[in-house]
Structure 1
Amino acid sequence: MSIKVRKTIRHLEETHLENGREVDPVHRVAFVGIVIENPYGSGYVEDLVTLADEVGEQIGELVGPACVELLGTEVEAFGKVALVGVAGEVEHGSALIHNLRFGNVFRNAAGGTELLPAAEKVGLPGAPIDVPLKHKTDSKTRSHHQTVTLQVPGAPLPGEILVGCVAASAGRPLARLAVFGAETAGQ
């Protein structure tokens, strides 16, 4: 099966100042997404895995390497997202992004080893969705726990799914929390 892409979205955000302080180096976040016709249609589908296995790598190739390229520097944190149009169900988006054939393309392009944190939901066109990011090789690195809010005006339409990848060049701007477990050390 070949997926039907209506739209490709590429977004790059650079943060130079945070709370009046310079961010050095500049914090970069890239998002690449595609709006596709929902391959599951609008009804209940019992077997979601077979189709996800069939199109997962194709979808991953369209968004994963492009996200890394758009970031333009080494990826330190990453995440993935599926926003399903209201004629579908959240499980349709989940099947597409919680599939190693999709995830491995992005993970390999980013040089990551950790599982990709994800967000998926059903929403109206233009609905916001919050995508969690974590460090690509150590999910316990607190400085890299961050959330990016995405919105694509006019997408997804009821019979579509927005699928994408998000990459960041660093942890949160001006991150300064203690390392994981520090609050219980010595107890």
Structure 2
Amino acid sequence: MQQRIPDRPDESIDLRKLVVYREAVVTEAGEAPAQPARRASVAAVIRNPWAGAGPSTDLSSEQARVAPVLAKLLTDRLITALGSVEEIESFGKAAIVGTAGEIEHAGALIHTPYFGNLVREFLQGESIICFADTRAEAGETLIVPLWHKTHAATRSHYQTISARVADAPCADEIVVIAAASTGPRPHPRIGDRTTDFAVTTETLEEVPS
């Protein structure tokens, strides 16, 4: 059965707030990067559909209802913030659960195909999406990791962006975040996982203690 994404996500997922953050790297270490990157995150503050429920509660029905709407909502805003889907090179996802919820509620919304597969498709990616999640009070800052959307071994695109909503999550809310970047870290020069030589304790003459 095809998943229908409602036209009014504010009603269908109890959306309270959307927060969009953007930044651009102008200089690093006194020089402009050869490939200046823009980064953005989009955070949706929603009511936790499982707040107050016990740990035996089945999460599947609400997961299938809410997560696809969030995937479309957040990626649409990311694409708008960064110009176009073709400009986006790396991505990441995250969630912060309010104190009346479980950390598993974060997983229910970002760690399943109802969110991850759709975010990947909407952003034209192939890589597994790296992530962060936690349970916290309002105003918590979460460091969202990013890596290349089609070549996860491309070390130049290992980077992070900080995401924070000053008044969220309330105890019965969840903040769900999608983030992306249009390029690598400034002045990347530490090699690549696909071309690195093997390093083990046997390949080194001495490992400092």
What is the TM-score normalised by the length of structure 2?
Answer: 0.83
Counting only pairs closer than 5 Å after superposition, residues 124-143 of structure 1 correspond to structure 2 as: 124-143=137-156
Q: As a proportion of its length, which structure holds more strand?
A: 1
Distance in 2 (alpha carbons) for counterparts of 1:133 and 1:29? 10
SS at match of 1:17: coil
Distance in 2 (alpha carbons) for counterparts of 1:59 and 1:45? 23
Match of 2:30 among 10, 20, 29: 20
Distance in 2 (alpha carbons) for counterparts of 1:49 and 1:117? 22
Distance in 2 (alpha carbons) for counterparts of 1:31 and 1:63? 9
Structure 2 match to 1:111: 124
Distance in 2 (alpha carbons) for counterparts of 1:175 and 1:101? 34
SS at match of 1:114: coil
8 Å Cα contact 1:143/1:175 also seen in 2: yes
Which 4+ residue blocks in structure 1 deviate beyond 6 angstroms? none
Structure 1 match to 2:133: 120
Following superposition, the deviation at residue 45 of structure 1 comes to 4.1
Structure 1 match to 2:64: 53
Q: Say whether residues 1:36 and 2:46 are aligned partners.
A: yes
Distance in 1 (alpha carbons) for counterparts of 2:19 and 2:144? 15
Distance in 1 (alpha carbons) for counterparts of 2:33 and 2:157? 15
Q: Deviations over 1:51-74 (max 9, x none)?
A: 212221111111112212211141
What is the TM-score normalised by the length of structure 1?
Answer: 0.93
Structure 2 match to 1:64: 75
8 Å Cα contact 2:35/2:186 also seen in 1: no
Following superposition, the deviation at residue 182 of structure 1 comes to 1.4
Following superposition, the deviation at residue 149 of structure 1 comes to 1.7
Counterpart of 2:30 in structure 1: which amino acid?
Answer: G
Tell me, which stretches of 5 or more residues in structure 1 are unaligned? none
Bigger Rg, which one? 2
Tell me, which stretches of 5 or more residues in structure 2 are unaligned? 1-10, 204-209
Q: Say whether residues 1:96 and 2:109 are aligned partners.
A: yes
SS at match of 1:26: coil
Percent identity between the two aligned chains: 35
